[in-house]
Amino acid sequence: MQLGEAISFFLSFDIKDIIEHEKELANYAFDALSKIKNIEIASQRGDTIILFNIKNIPPQDVASYLGNRDIYVRSGAFCAYKFKEINNFSNAYVRISLAMYNQKNDIDKLVQVLKTGGNFIEIL
């Protein structure tokens, strides 16, 4: 029953609108994160999955800090161990995944919390 409701919900949207919304959010998130000192972004502008790190702070610490503030991200290598060799980047990342249910205020909250982080984020 719940699966049917979920499918009906998603089918009530036009796929073109979903894609446009997600792309707009991705660009907005990339631009906002790019303005924060000491953030290194491994993804490209427009990607709906954004990998980033904060210099000198383990991604797991960042993910835990954000999670304690009701911002749920993932951290780790995500089975992409070759990514470091290809892009000369870290072994692990913080990952945000944007979808149709996200809004700009979700990104604004993420950016604000990153900018006003606790003691271990004072380098921002």
| CATH number for 44 | 3.90.1150.10
Closest-CA residue to 121 (of 64, 45, 81, 51): 64
3 state DSSP class of 46: coil
What domain range includes position 84? 36-118
| Annotated catalytic residue within 35, 79, 88, 119 | 79
Question: Per the domain annotation, does 114 fall within a domain?
Answer: yes
Residue 81 appears among annotated catalytic residues: no
Number of independent structural domains in the chain: 1
Closest-CA residue to 111 (of 43, 25, 19, 46): 25
pTM value?
Answer: 0.81
Rg (CA), the chain: 16
Question: Per the domain annotation, does 41 fall within a domain?
Answer: yes
Per residue in 33-51, pLDDT (tens digit) is 999 989 999 899 999 999 9
pLDDT of residue 78: 65
